[in-house]
Structure 1
Amino acid sequence: MEDSILTTLLLPAALAIIMISLGLELTRADFRRVVQEPRGVTIGLVNLVLISPALAFGIAELFDLPAGLAVGLVLLGASPGGTMANVLTHLARGDTALSVTMTAISSLAAAITVPLFLELASRHFDAQALVGDVSMGGVVARVFLITLVPVAIGMTIRDRWPEWTANARPHVAKVAAGLFLLVVVSAVAAEHEKALDNLGEVAGAALALNVAAMTVSFTVSKLARLDDRRATAIALELGVHNATLAIAVGASLATVLTIPAAVYAMFMFITGGLFAKAMHRRNTRAAARAPAAV
């Protein structure tokens, strides 16, 4: 009964508020930026949509995770960046506009990418029985409802009531952060026995995915000759996923799928925060040198 309430009410409600809070940060200009400055966004989205899920597949194989945990790790890897990636990018003096744009577009694309990689992972790891007979269309509809609709609501609120939005945004952000913590704790509690039994495996795989995703995405960005500020945004977007989305989708199918995202969420802010701190110094020095170079 408690699991049912968590799956059908609390998780979707918490995720909706978190996604509305993202919508409150967005304007149409964020999407126009894709056309105006396509290189950074394109590289970031390729990292999010292709490299991150591929890394999750590889790491699940490397750690020889049980089928349910392997699918859960891929589900996490396929999830978009989260709003906390935007916050950490801002603190690191990275390109916050790029971060917000990637979060927005990857959240919209999640209606296709998340169900796609969930299907591929369930087939690859022979976990179709665990996932069940849920149709691709059903998962698409579910992700659409818990991502696109709340983001659109948030953007509409900002557009119609800008002054109220400016005042409410900090409070909504705090509520969203609290709900995120509640979601993570609830997900771990729901599957605490499996979580404890597999903690070593899952923690190692989740940490490996986190570090690999940030390292690979930062390296790819620099090889593509993006500056440090944009590379910072892309790396944090890959390191700080929307774990709430992964947990919500996973819980609606099989609660074991939530464990990798819940464990990942426990430390992604530590690794992301350390990276942001290091890049803050580097980006601050670069900003100080910029006027002299003009």
Structure 2
Amino acid sequence: MLSQLFGSACSLELSLDTEPSRKTAVLGRDKRGERAPIFEDGEKVSGKAQVVLKPGKKLDHQGIKVEFIGQVDMLYDRSNSYDFFSITKDLMGPGSMFESEKWQWEFGNADKKYETYHGINVRLRYFVRLTVVRNYASNIVKEIDIVVQNKGVPPEINNTIKMEVGIEDCLHIEFEYDKSKYHLKDVVVGKVYFLLVRIKIKHMELDIIRREITGQGSNATSDTETLTKFEIMDGAPVRSECVPVRLYMSGFDLTPTYKNVLNKFSVKYFLNLVLVDEEDRRYFKQQEIFLWRKRIGG
């Protein structure tokens, strides 16, 4: 149970009803950071709220309420927050409190079709807020977050990716990945054929890249992160050589692909094949892939 003191009159306590078997996930970008229980779309969210008065204290208020809120925050502009839904339940009307009060609250079948996301420039969060409304002083507020994850639908069509890349009279390679849509714990399987090699290749790697796009049109901002660099070849290849590719995705901080969430942001993923020559020049080819969630918590 979480609590926080507000002045000397009272403290607020807010907790979630969760069974021991419910999975949890980190709220932010730090894997060692605070964790919260995972809920799916359509699941009820319930818990307990309490206003704890100190002995001999009185609390005048204009009402006590609990809200369930879905919110998008632009992290570069904290004033630019957007509540895409909000449900309110009144716990107590205006009046005075002379002793502590405790309530059970519940938001049944609440709409949670967008997943929790914490990126470079944008955050989508779901939280419950307990508020004591006051007239002549700032409101007393306590919040608690949940994580929302939703299982995706397995793709009916999942085509292989085949592409050629080259530098005229110097390098010609052909690469192939077994599919274009992957779940978050999947394995990228493929191969790279060297059809022509006239430059001295030092090594080859396969990167997973995440691109976060915030805003719309001319105001859109794009940020790119390289989540992993996986070496698939060390040393110079020869003509007609075929290099196998096998990259396990389970060890990386991946989310599903998000397309134009609430007209606020999108998240895309790419496989980036990189060759580095002996002069450290880099030759690369990017290919977008689609990621989906096969199971909750992964």
TM-score normalised by L of structure 1: 0.22
Q: Which has the higher strand share?
A: 2
TM-score normalised by L of structure 2: 0.22
Greater relative contact order, per chain length (Cα 8 Å cut-off, separation 6+): 1
